[in-house]
Structure 1
Amino acid sequence: MYLPPAFRQDDLAEIFATMRAARLCNFVTATAEGLMATPLPPILDDKEGERGVIYGHVARANPQWKTAPIGEAMALFTGPDAYVTPSWYATKRETGKVVPTWNYSAVHAYGPVEFFEDADRLLSIVTRLTALHETPRAQPWAVSDAPEDFIKAQLRGIVGFRMPITRLEGKLKMSQNRTAEDRAGVAAGLASSDRPSDRIVAGMIPK
């Protein structure tokens, strides 16, 4: 990922927060047959390893796990994003030398990938993933709520993966390269948008 110094995100806690907030990632592997990608909900275990480990699973019918990866795999996480019109810049009124852009946050995680079919490891993964998203609910559902034989049958339809993170790239592009007046104009413009994601981005622009 292209990382100009103004937009580079090096704070590990902030990078992990972006990954967790995204909830869905694109899991990508390079193979002899070309690139393969699967959108999936991951588990980020930031207590394991130096930079954390990503766990997830794919459908057994998905050819991605059957095709040997070449080099590292990667997981792409995207955060809030918004279109920025030049009309919001004070510089437009002063010089007219402005163009549209896009504000966004993103994290790219890289590492070797191990696919596994062990039933106990798969059960652990789906139990952790379910708890991650069910726990905040008023009446959370648990994997153990379903019949054991049914869960065993469901597990036979998936394959798990483990990706220790060897490097992380974080990017937070929120108009940091613009003047304070331009940033204020962008924040005000996005704050008045009907799009919820635009309003989130408005609150992320530095003053």
Structure 2
Amino acid sequence: MYVPAHFDESRPEVLHALIAQHPFGTLVTHGASGLDANHIPFELLDNMGAPGTFGTLHAHVARANPLWQDVKDGDEVLAIFRAGDAYISPTWYPSKHETHRQVPTWNYVVVHAHGRIRIRDDEKFVRGVVARLTRTHEADEPQPWKMGDAPTDYLDTMLKAIVGLEIEITRLVGKRKLGQNKEARDIRGAGEALVARGEGTIGREMLNHLAGLENNP
């Protein structure tokens, strides 16, 4: 990924937070059948305390998905996590109305997790991944669903129909394209326009970035 210096986000704790907040990723593999991409939810295990580690990703796919047979343990893979994006109109920049030297662009936040994959076709691993993903994503429900709610025989059948994936992250690359190469008034103008249009994710990111600059001149 091309990352100009002013858009670089290399703080591991920030990248981990973005993955945790946006866990539905795109897994890109290059196996026996060539390039492939699968869209799946991930669980991030933060084991960065160990020297030379960047964390581990756990996930699962349907047994009918050829992915788990197409790759080999140790193959390099890439998981992409998109944390928001938005079109930026040049009309939102105050400077455009003075100089007309602005063009449209697209702002976004993304994390690339490079790593090595391992297939985990064992019931204990798969059950643990499903249980933890369920607890995480059911947490805000008034009556959270739990695995014990399903009949045992039904749940066992469903678990046999999926295969676990484990990815040891070897490199994290982050990009926050929020107009950092623009004047402060232009960042504010575009950020406020996005928020007003209901596209608050990137709009708030832009305004938060600007606030950080103003608080730490």
Q: TM-score range by the shorter chain?
A: over 0.9
Equivalent in the alignment of 1:85: 89
Quote the residue 1:51 is aligned against. 54
Q: Tell me whether 1:116 sits opposite 2:117 in the alignment.
A: no
Per the alignment, residue 10 of structure 2 pairs with: 10
TM-score (norm 1): 0.93
Residue 117 of structure 1 aligns with an amino acid whose one-letter code is: D
Aligned to 2:67: 64
Instruction: State the 1:135 CA deviation.
Output: 2.0
Matches of 2:76 and 2:124, distance apart in 1? 26
Matched residue, 1:135: 139
Q: Structure 2: give runs of 5+ residues left out of the alignment.
A: 211-217
Task: Answer yes or no: is the 8 Å Cα contact 2:26–2:40 preserved in 1.
Answer: yes
Given the alignment of the two structures, is residue 76 of structure 1 paired with residue 80 of structure 2, yes or no?
Answer: yes
What's the CA shift for 1:172? 0.6
RMSD, aligned α-carbons: 1.5
Query: Partner of 1:177 in structure 2?
Result: 181
| Alignment partners' CA distance in 1, 2:33 and 2:113 | 22
Q: Which runs of 5+ in 1 are unaligned?
A: none
* Corresponding letter in the other structure for 2:137: H
Shift of 1:13: 1.6
Letter aligned with residue 17 of structure 1: A
Partner deviation per Cα, 1:56-91 (whole Å, 9 max, x = no partner): 000001011111258411110001211100001122
| 1:202 maps to 2:194 | no
Match for 1:34: what amino acid? G
Q: How does 1:155-174 map to 2 (within 5 A)?
A: 155-174=159-178
CA deviations over 1:100-155 (Å, ceiling 9, x no partner): 00111000001110112111111111111111111222211111221222111111
- Picking from 86, 103, 116, the partner of 2:107 is 103
Aligned residues: 204
- Percent identical: 37
Q: Which moved more, 1:26-35 or 1:165-174?
A: 26-35
CA–CA distance in 2 between the matches of 1:68 and 1:94?
55
1:186 aligns with 2:190: yes
Tell me which moved more, 172-181 or 88-97. 88-97
Q: TM-score, normalised by structure 2?
A: 0.89
Decide whether the 8 Å contact of 2:75 with 2:117 is kept in 1. no
Q: Distance in 1 between matches of 2:71 and 2:180?
A: 41
Per-residue CA deviation, residues 20-46 of structure 1 (Å, 9 max, x unaligned), is 111310111112321111111110011
Please name the residue that 2:150 is paired with.
Answer: 146
Deviation at 1:187, TM superposition (A): 1.5
